[in-house]
Amino acid sequence: MATKDNMNTAITLAHVAAILQIIFTILGFIAVLGISVLVSGPAIIGSAIGIVGVVIGVAWSWADYELIYEPMKAGRYSKMSDRMLIIGLIQLFVGGTVPGVIILVSWLVARS
């Protein structure tokens, strides 16, 4: 089982991943809207893509916070270790590379 210092580090990393996911979601939305305004095509398509991106980003932010950070903070690591690995791997390839890597590092730290 992980030491208290390792668990605190893992909890902090999970929190950082959730915050970064929110920041990247906002930046992505601004970028898509900016590109849709600058390009001569219809802005509604760019806005729709931006909204879909925001929905996906918010879903990942919720998963990072509610399914990983909160259980770790409450000390329920043993019940969510597999869930943390699965969410980290999926997020690594779908919609959040940096937060996905941080979640996987958090999983490794918590297991040590």
Buried b (16+ CB within 10 A) or exposed e, 38-69: eeeeeeeebeebbeebeeebeebbebbbebbb
pLDDT score for 40 = 58
Top pLDDT among 98 and 42 is at 98
pTM beyond cutoff 0.85: no
Question: Does the structure show a pLDDT above 70 at 2?
Answer: no
Domain interval for residue 10: 4-111
Q: Which two tokens stand for residue 101?
A: 């890597």
**Total domains in the fold of the chain:** 1
| Tens digits of residue pLDDT in 16-26 | 888 888 888 88
